[in-house]
Amino acid sequence: MTEGCQVALVLSDYIMPDIKGDEVLQRIHKMSPDTLKIMLTGQANLDAVGNAIKYSRLYRYVPKPWQSEDLKLTVVEALHSYLQDQKVIQQRKQLEIMNQKLQELTRNQAKIIAEQTAELKEINAELKAANTKLKEANEELEQLAILDPLLPIANRRRFDEYLKQEWARMCRERRYLSLILADVDYFKQYNDKYGHQAGDRCLIAIAKTIQKSLRRPADLVCRYGGEELVIVLPNTNPDGAIKVAETIQEEIALLKIPHFRSKISDYVTISMGLASMIPIKGVSPSMLINVADKSLYQAKNNGRNCFFWRSFNCCLMKNNSSVND
């Protein structure tokens, strides 16, 4: 019997020439531990049987004299037991292989999940950055949509939206809404004298000055068209609007922008038309614009470089005024 060979059953007598059966079984057990061993003995040698059980994993010992049928049944039973044990061993090996494969799959799956998670995190970070850029771009577009392309103030579109918004709000709150329409005096002559680039710089300086003159966040200056600017003053009564116009006129005078083609001054001046009312439901905001426009027309007829306030019942021309309410 060579080491590593598969032997199902060994039947050994205890008494043999030169060697005893329990020693033979021990040697066989070292070479093939799974082999079942049956020892035949005619002597009641319990020590030998004990050694065989302890060192050889003796399956059974059969004392002499034995019946051939009993020995046959014992051998058949042992073979069945061996085959069953081998089947269990084979199943265990298959389970071990399956477990190893499962563990490998689990490790691979964990690796794939980790890689995909890292990719998802990277994608999410890229999406977040893209969304941030998109938000910034949208905000920039929104600003571009409401800002004048030349002057650092809101454009006509923003004016129309804001006037409608504040008209509705003041109507709900039953508060005054005032409007100032401003026009640069003899601006065409200024452009003819100094050129259009100088005219642009002049308008920019005036727009910044008016913007600086406004004290409240809700007050808004917009470009109305050409050299005309419009100021929306929510929650501002007539006295407050007159005060704002006075402040603007004083600040423009401090600029001292030369204008030698002007018929009323050596420096750039503006004329302003004022209108104030508590908005009424069902009345269009354009009514306030029309009143301010008529006030501006009257200011020009009165010699320019002044402002004119018009109510719906009377007209009042002023060169000085009180505080913004």
Q: Which residues pair with 317 in a beta bridge?
A: 308
| Cis bond upstream, residue 65 (ω within 30) | yes
Structure tokens at 124: 């999410």
Residue 115 falls in the annotated catalytic set: no
* Residue entry with tokens 């980790």: 114
The answer to whether 64 and 42 are in contact (CB under 8 A) is yes
Expressed in angstroms, the distance from the first to the final Cα of the chain is 117
List the catalytic residue out of 126, 166, 173, 227. 227
Contact 318, 234 (CB under 8 A): no
Cα separation, 246 vs 27, in Å, equals 122
DSSP 120-178: HHHHHHHHHHHHHHHHHHHHHHHHHHHB-SSSSSB-HHHHHHHHHHHHHHHHHHT--EE
Closest residue by Cα to residue 36 from 68, 12, 10: 10
Residues tagged active-site: 227
